[in-house]
Amino acid sequence: MNEQAAPGRVGDVRRRNLSLVLDSIARNADAKPSRAQVAAGTGLTKAAVSSLVADLVESGLVSEVGLYRDGERGRPGQGLELSSRRGVVGMEINVDYLAVGLVDLGGNLRFSSTVESRNRGLKPGAVMEQLAELAGQAKAAAASAGITILGGGLAVPGLVDEQRNIVLSAPNLHWEHEQLNPQALLEGAPLGVRLSNEANSAALGELWYGDGPADFLYVSGEVGVGGGVIISSELYTGPGGSAGELGHIVVHPEGPSCSCGGAGCLETFAGQEAVFEAARIPEGSLGGRTELLLAALAADEPHAKRAVRDAGRYLGIALASSARLMDIEAVVLGGHFAVLADWLKPSVLSSLERYAPGLLEPESLTVSRLEHSGTLLGAAGQVIRAVIESPFEFLLGKPA
């Protein structure tokens, strides 16, 4: 007998409805809905909602926030919200910085801190030590605000094995199959620390806390070119968990060889390194290469303009192919591409028009406004979503 699905038990109904109620409170966080409003929104009866909310309040996931008098008549309701006294720590390792943020269950960034750090080539251990210091700051901030930390999310710019806490490959850090121990960053957090990919986390951040629609492709132009695919408000990771590698789509069969071993990849045309080089902005320039590039663009410097135009053209090709294959209807530009958006967008759009006319509307190509915090929010958000999706685990084993 080959089976997979678990049998439905009577108690599953309650698990599902606990999640449904919690999700409803999360979605309507602005309204601080009452039990009656949650009942109307979910389709459950008031009686059922009362019972479910009682469990959620007892577990500490939901708080009552005083009376709520909005209507004209009748008894006022008790406003409900995800507890602001439970939080998750978002963390990010990137090529030239480290960052942490403390996010409460409601998705508010209550504390954050970033330090520059040239991590390329450093051993994971050394980087994790530095990150632990930052995590300590977040823990201190949580303690002084009376927030219990439930868990954490750690985003890295590479492919990860989430189950086993391994960074399979992060070429821009020069990491290859590195075992990490992210749990050590937050000793004692009941949900532990979840490892994730940077572009994927940024995409989720955009979905939950930015302007992302239910279906879009997030394009992250950090040192590498990464992507995150959101379908029906869920991250699409593919069977092996490494979907969204937009940077290694082949955009020219005679293109230069790529660090991935292939050739003609988008990253060889639109990666930061390729753009800086084509724009003739040497490595180690004083004042920062990005700033110099922006200055050159503002000054109409021809190499810079051409470099960005070409990057946009090939990005357009990759987006056209992606849209055909995955039926993508919207694109959000992040990272480096968000910074360059004013110069990049026109050539991306004209390239899309040439290679896939009518497929993507110009309005559906948007630019992220979350900047770096998007990745932190997304990394933490994955743990928050895990709580919202199965709050049952919290009902008995309540954290202090």
Separation CA 388–CA 375 (nearest Å): 20
Long-range contacts, stretch 128-134, CB < 8 angstroms, 24+ apart: 128/180, 128/181, 128/182, 128/184, 128/185, 130/98, 131/91, 131/93, 131/98, 131/100, 131/185, 132/184, 132/185, 134/91, 134/98, 134/99, 134/100
**Does position 174 bind a copy of itself by CB under 8 A?**
no
**Does position 31 bind a copy of itself by CB under 8 A?**
yes
Query: Exactly one of 34, 322, 366, 382 binds a copy of itself (CB under 8 A); which one?
Result: 322
**What is the footprint of a copy of itself within residues 205-224 (CB under 8 A)?**
214-215
The residue among 42 and 321 lying less far from DNA, judged by its C-beta, is 42
- Which H or E run includes 268? helix 267-270
Closest C-alpha to 368, from 272, 224, 257, 227: 227
Positions in the binding site for DNA (CB under 7 A): 7-11, 13-14, 17, 34-37, 43-48, 50-54, 67, 69, 71-78
**Does position 356 bind a copy of itself by CB under 8 A?**
yes
Query: Exactly one of 71, 146, 188, 261 binds a copy of itself (CB under 8 A); which one?
Result: 261
The nearest distance, CB 280 to a copy of itself, in angstroms, is 23
The nearest distance, CB 283 to a copy of itself, in angstroms, is 27
Site pattern 48..87 for a copy of itself (x: CB under 8 A): x---------------------------------------
Calculate ∠ Cα 370-311-329, nearest 5°: 55
Binding partner selected for residue 321 from a copy of itself, DNA, none, CB under the kind-specific 5 to 8 Å limit: a copy of itself
Separation CA 387–CA 33 (nearest Å): 19
Residues 6+ apart with CB under 8 A from 379: 90, 91, 92, 152, 153, 154, 155, 194, 196, 201, 205
- The residue with tokens 């990137």 is 94
Separation CA 219–CA 32 (nearest Å): 33
**Does position 276 bind a copy of itself by CB under 8 A?**
no
* Count of residues near a copy of itself by CB under 8 A: 74
The nearest distance, CB 48 to DNA, in angstroms, is 3
The nearest distance, CB 42 to DNA, in angstroms, is 9
The residue among 23 and 329 lying less far from DNA, judged by its C-beta, is 23
**Does position 237 bind a copy of itself by CB under 8 A?**
yes
The residue among 75 and 118 lying less far from DNA, judged by its C-beta, is 75
The residue among 231 and 294 lying less far from a copy of itself, judged by its C-beta, is 231
**Does position 251 bind a copy of itself by CB under 8 A?**
yes
The residue among 34 and 94 lying less far from a copy of itself, judged by its C-beta, is 34
Question: Helix, strand, or coil here: 231?
Answer: strand
Residues 6+ apart with CB under 8 A from 364: 329, 330, 331
Which regions of 272-395 does DSSP assign to beta strands (E)? 331-334, 365-367
φ, ψ of residue 361 in degrees (nearest 5): -70, 145
Binding partner selected for residue 75 from DNA, a copy of itself, none, CB under the kind-specific 5 to 8 Å limit: DNA
**Does position 5 bind a copy of itself by CB under 8 A?**
yes
